[in-house]
Amino acid sequence: MTRNIIRIALTLVLAVPGVALARVPQAEPNVNTRYEVDSVSIAGVSESKVSHALRDDMQKLVGNKYDPDAAEELAKRLRKELGDYTVTVKVKRGEQPDHVTVVFDVERIRRSSFYFRPAPLLYTTNDGFSVAIVPTLETHHNFVSGGYVTSADELLERNMGWLVRYEHRKVGTDMVQVGLEYDYFHPSFQPETEAALALAPWVPGVYRVREVFSPSVSFLPIPDIKVTFGASFQTLDMQYPAPDEQAAHAYTFGVQFRRQEGSRRGLRHKIGADYSLRKASPSLESDFLYTRQLATADYTLSTRRHLFGFHFQGGHASGQLPLYERFSIGNATTLRGWDKFEVAPIGGANLVYGSLEYRYRLFQLFYDVGTVWDPGQPVDLKHSIGFGLAWNNGLFVSLGIPLRYHSVTPTFMFGFRM
């Protein structure tokens, strides 16, 4: 039954898009250069979002012969001010002969920030190196990526293995997308996790192989929102408490929101929010039965030199969770300074985490608070502070310091955040 489900899903996903070739037409001379500009306007966004200086320079086109180079330069400046928008210069016939009107047509971009990419390099003194060599090939809305991953940052296990992903981001329209992913990992576990499992018989044990097949379809009703429906077929080669092969097959659902805006005063607002649901069901012939929910929110306010940020994560799960589904914090991005195996060596079914950060140019200060716990356990919040350097391209170097009464050992971290 499971093999039939995977075969049907694979056939549907690969049959939808197909790779097409497009011939690029040759550019023709712009005949509008002999016409006089009657008016200039901006469509698709309120002119109040555009600086007075740029609007004044646009109006300088009026009364002169149309200059395509000058118009394109103004379009570039408009793209820079607005951020996540495309700008197209449209020239329309004027009311009088040999006259035209110029319209800067603005449309919000469906951003690539919706798509997860593993960090190419991370290092912490607690978890060591995490590396992802996953190049991407793009051709006519088809995105194929694949490569090798060894990561100990997010999960309780170190994932070592290979992954292959395929996405088609325009199925008839750019509002519909499909994806397919296959992963094959050989996980390894720390002694702290294996020792804690012996005291928690209700938690499933460790596994030597984790094989994942995940088809999905996504909808972007507006550029700021992406809604995804899919499934995750995971096979675990269990090692403890007894050798066995078990399935963790789940329906998946996710909603993502992204918005980035600028203002005439140089302030930039960036907002992100995600919600994900995974429900392992007997209808998919899953041996594990559980429900897992995770919500995240991020907000940053920045100028040229200053940035203020707030980050939040909250999660709840019920049922029989395999170890990779249990929440864990204490790494290069959450509760920095703490060791995840000291916070909770087998993770927890509940998660709460928050972070505040401030940056001046490259210099960064942060404060983290959070914990994970199981039902019936006390909620023991952990706190940490830290500082470091953070670049706009994602490169960072930082030192996290756990706040406690004894054996305070800072954690050194560096790498890339995608």
Contacts 24+ apart (CB under 8 A), 403-412: 410/337, 410/386, 411/124, 411/125, 411/126, 411/336, 411/337, 411/338, 411/339, 412/123, 412/124, 412/125
pLDDT at 13: 44
Amino acid letter at 418?
Answer: M
pLDDT at 72: 93
CA–CA gap between residue 12 and residue 8 (Å, rounded): 6
CA–CA gap between residue 254 and residue 277 (Å, rounded): 6
CA atoms within 13 A on the CB side of 79: 11
Beta bridge partners of 129: 123
pLDDT at 16: 45
pLDDT at 64: 93
Rounded to 5 degrees, what angle do the CA atoms 361, 367, 372 make? Answer: 140
Q: Give the tokens for residue 213.
A: 């097949």
Read off the pTM. Answer: 0.78
> Alpha carbon of 280 to those of 232, 247, 287, 319: distances in Å?
9, 10, 8, 9
pLDDT at 4: 54
CA–CA gap between residue 215 and residue 167 (Å, rounded): 10
19 CB burial (10 A radius; 0-12, 13-18, 19+): exposed
Average pLDDT by stretches of 10, the chain with 418 residues? 50 44 47 83 87 91 92 91 84 90 85 77 95 91 94 94 94 92 97 94 93 97 93 94 89 94 76 97 96 98 93 97 96 96 96 98 97 95 97 93 91 90
